[in-house]
Structure 1
Amino acid sequence: MSLFMLLLADDPTEYTDLSPAELQEIIARYSAWSQQMAASGRLQGGHKLTDEGGRVLRREGDAVVVRDGPYAELREIVSGYFLIEASDYADAEAVARSCPHAQSRGSITIRAIEFTGDS
């Protein structure tokens, strides 16, 4: 088995009009899915990320510049991640399709983990 990261992205403003009960129902779906994945031995980790977007570090000339994110022109931010075990990309895609996020308007980016050196 290999490790894959599922990067969940969405527009955080999509959730601002939901009632507390609707938000709790969404949380319950993700919780049930992650418990099922953990019970099957596939889930290796995962967390929701804050909605504020974080920071971006980038070299500009001789300096490393830090900027706030997300920017006004961006509609989606990475809102969370899951680290899963899968045999290959097709298997990882099947797991991602079962994730509640696949039923939302957001996206799931699937990336294989490459172990290097002491990893």
Structure 2
Amino acid sequence: MKEFLMLIRGGQEKYNSVSPEDMQKHMEHWQQWMGSLAQEDKLVGGQPLMNEGTTMTERGKKVIDRPFAEGRELVGGYLLIKADSLVHATEIAKDCPSFEYDCSVEVREIAPMD
């Protein structure tokens, strides 16, 4: 099996306005989905990301300390999964609970380091 990275973007506006009860249901959906991936030995790892970070440019000489802008391009989290192909990984990603909050999911194969 190959490894694939899912980058989950956007949804902050909806996440920030959801009721605690709806957020609890959403988190339960995440637990069920990730639990099933783990049972199938497809889940390698994943975490939500904080909004604060740094950006380095000029070969690392310039460091910008900042919160990342909210919006459609904000990367809110990632998952690392195992799948047979990009098509298979994309099928797995279609069930991502973040779609409930209008997020997008980018699926990329991890390049082997030989």
Same fold at TM > 0.5: yes
Counterpart contact for 2:72–2:103, Cα < 8 Å: no
RMSD: 1.9
Query: What TM-score, normalized by structure 1, do the two folds share?
Result: 0.84
- Deviation track 1:15-39 (CA, whole Å, cap 9, x = no partner) reads 2221111111111111110000000
**In structure 1, what is the Cα distance between the partners aligned to 2:88 and 2:60?**
42
Gaps of 5+ in 1: none
SS of the residue 1:54 aligns to: strand
Q: Deviations over 1:66-91 (max 9, x none)?
A: 2214137x543111111000111100
1:95 equivalent to 2:100? Answer no
Deviations 1:47-98 (A, max 9, x none): 1112x24221122xx76222214137x5431111110001111001000002
Q: State the match for 2:69 in structure 1.
A: 71
**Aligned partners of 1:53 and 1:77 also within 8 Å:** no
- 1:116 shift after superposition: 1.6
Which residue matches 1:33?
33
Counterpart contact for 2:15–2:101, Cα < 8 Å: no
Give aligned pairs, total.
113
Is 1:116 equivalent to 2:113 in the alignment?
Answer: yes
CA distance in 1, matches of 2:78, 2:48: 7
List runs of 5+ in structure 2 lacking aligned partners.
none
Alignment of 1:86 with 2:83, yes or no, is: yes
Contact 2:45 2:81 in 1 (8 A): yes
| Superposition TM-score, scaled by structure 2 size | 0.87
- Change over 3 Å in CA distance of 1:4–1:45 after alignment to 2: same
